[in-house]
Copies of this chain bind each other. A is one copy, B any other.
Amino acid sequence: MSLDTAATKPHERLAEALSSEMDQVNALIRTRMASEHAPRIPEVTAHLVEAGGKRLRPMLTLATAKMCGYEGPYHVHLAATVEFIHTATLLHDDVVDESSQRRGRPTANLLWDNQSSVLVGDYLFARSFQLMVEAGSLRVLDILSNAAATIAEGEVLQLTAARNLATDEDVYLRVILGKTAALFSAATEVGGVIAGQPEAVSDALFQYGEALGVAFQIVDDYLDYAGTDATGKNVGDDFRERKLTLPVIKAVAVADAEERAFWVRTIEKGNQEEGDLDHALALIGRHGTLAATKAEAVAWADRAKAALDALPEHEIRTMLVDLADYVVLRIR
């Protein structure tokens, strides 16, 4: 790290500090997404893996392993594992949400079909476990299989909570602890575990990853209503899909009778008309729930930073602290 890069974004600084390891991760991903007999598999996977995501999750594993002084080869396997699990869940999510766009490109379920997305997701999930087994740590396998179960549980909960105005902030938090934070926390924790760190350290890394993941998802849900062009997201996707996220949950909680009738019609009954998104945005504005949502994201980012307080000074630690700030900076 030279001083003249100090102004770049923290995930870019992490990518720079970990560039040789990330190259190994990318090479391993390319090798392991192959299939001798079923060329459809690498086609579908490449579409997603090479779409130019930030690789935030595998980078977190590399970062925590490096910060903990790990010198073996298996953080690369675990980082690839984390990215495969993430990719598998994206493939399945797009089927579940019937999405047609991700990261500004058509989704795999649109380019191929739902069948391919389901089965290639299953393949990547199995491949992720093969990679973990190679790393040879039962504790890591335990952490990541628990995370995989928690992710799926959060997704199912989201499915049953959607379109249901009874979904409150507790349910919302449980959903995002599962669908988003579980993989962040597993990614950061296994970096410490593979480096043989004591439980106090791996726990702190878990706490950091979990809080970062929650902040990240709250910001995502915030941007879905407040979005800017820079995010590449369409404002109102969650509204149209009748998902209950924090800005709406908070608005429903203080709705008067007329407002409640609006949410019942648009979210519960799905009877949406032109102008409804604008009215939803007006209600959200009236009750200041975007500001309140932002405050929660900031609080979780602060929790993420606090979890790192117990750990010794390290240039990577500084980047992880900055990353927590940056995640919520996106919305300022």
What residues of chain A have their CB less than 8 Å away from a CB belonging to chain B? 35, 37-41, 89, 92, 95-96, 114-116, 118-123, 125-127, 129-130, 132-133, 136, 138, 141-142, 145-146, 148-149, 151-153, 155-157, 159-160, 174, 178
| Cβ-defined contact, B149 with A141, below 8 A | no
**CA–CA, A116 and B160, complex, Å:** 9
* B127 lies within 8 A of A114 (CB): no
Chain B's closest residue to A141 (CB) is B133
Q: How far is the CA of A148 from the CA of B132 in the complex (A)?
A: 14
Asked whether, in the complex, the Cβ of B38 is within 8 Å of the Cβ of A123, the reply is no
Sample of 11 A–B contacts (CB below 8 Å)? A40-B160, A41-B156, A95-B115, A96-B119, A119-B152, A122-B148, A122-B152, A129-B145, A130-B149, A132-B145, A136-B138
* New A-B contacts (5) at CB < 8 Å, excluding given A119-B152, A129-B145, A133-B142: A96-B115, A114-B114, A123-B149, A126-B152, A130-B145
Which residues from B are CB-within-8-Å of A148?
A: 122, 125-126, 129
> In the assembled complex, how far is the CB of residue A214 from the closest CB belonging to chain B, in whole angstroms?
16
Complex-state Cα separation, A146 to B131, whole angstroms: 10
**CB proximity of A220 to chain B, nearest CB, Å:** 19
With known contacts A35-B156, A40-B156, A153-B35, A146–B130 Cβ distance under 8 A: yes
Given A37-B157, A38-B156, A156-B120, residue A126 in contact with residue B114 (CB < 8 A): no
This chain: copies in complex: 2
Most buried by B among A122, A141, A145: A122
Most buried by B among A119, A127, A141: A119
Which of B133, B142, B160 contacts A145 (CB under 8 A)?
A: B133
Set of chain B residues within 8 Å of A121, measured between Cβ atoms:
122
Chain B neighbourhood of A95, CB < 8 A:
114-115, 118
Which B residues are in CB contact (< 8 Å) with A123?
A: 149, 152-153, 156
Query: Which residue of B37, B125, B160 contacts A174 across the interface (Cβ within 8 Å)?
Result: B37
Once A141-B141, A148-B126 are accepted as A-B contacts, the answer to whether A156 and B114 lie under 8 Å apart by CB is: no
Interface centre among A116, A142, A155 (most CB of B within 10 A): A155
